[in-house]
Amino acid sequence: MSRDTNSEIPLIAILRGVTPQTILDVASVLVEAGFTKLEVPLNSPNAIESIRMLVKEFGTESFELGAGTVTRLDLAEQVLETGANLVVTPNCNIEVIKTAVDAGCVTYPGVVTPTEAFNAVHAGATNLKLFPISMVGVSGMSAMKSVLPSNIDLFPVGGIDATIDSMSPYLNKGAKGFGLGSQLYTPFMTVSEVGQKAKAFVKTYNNIIAQ
């Protein structure tokens, strides 16, 4: 499945539990490894401040920086006020999707059924977060992709490891990329450990798409 390995790496770093004290150090090793999509879930400590720091440090011209676990419209509005350009949700909230899209944000609404997927698409989303992917699986994702518009990109999330066995089945069936949580980052990891894991994910992804 040959693609350009020099193009943007479609892996979303989900930094659940990161703090304003550690966000820039963690983000720096991720960016060094090739990540351009960084998500701070809103149930992290002082998440809005961490997002604001990311936007100030890296800017949004070449990066997707913003929030995950955006479950309500008022939360989405707080995220937008930081200058963020990324909104990720665990569910299909039409108000949140439309607000984020209208603000020019890249959105990844969480879906597990065709109905949720089409509702998100009709609200303006062009990326769908299949979460938890354990409820969908490779065959479910493939079936969903066959009926969705061809411009819709699918991102499995939940339990993805930095191995060919974990990533390849989804990529071979049309997944665009992945959202990576605790397999990439937890607050208990050192910055060095996060950097090593980030490089492993990028290396595995590139090895698969170069085949």
3-state secondary structure of 147: helix
Q: Please, what is the Cα angle at 16 between 10 and 21, to 5 degrees? A: 110
By C-alpha distance, which of 56, 73, 55, 72 is closest to 64? 55
State the Cα–Cα distance between residues 142 and 139, nearest whole angstrom.
5
By C-alpha distance, which of 148, 200, 195 is closest to 174? 148
Contacts of 90 by beta carbon, 8 Å cutoff, 6+ apart: 68, 69, 71, 110, 129, 131
Contacts of 55 by beta carbon, 8 Å cutoff, 6+ apart: 65, 82, 83, 84
Question: Among this protein's residues, is 145 annotated catalytic?
Answer: no
Which residue carries 């949140």 as its tokens?
A: 96
Catalytic residue among 37, 64, 129, 145: 129
Catalytic residue among 39, 64, 145, 197: 39
Question: Among this protein's residues, is 129 annotated catalytic?
Answer: yes
- Compute how many other C-beta atoms are within 10 angstroms of the C-beta atom of residue 21: 10
Active-site positions read: 39, 129
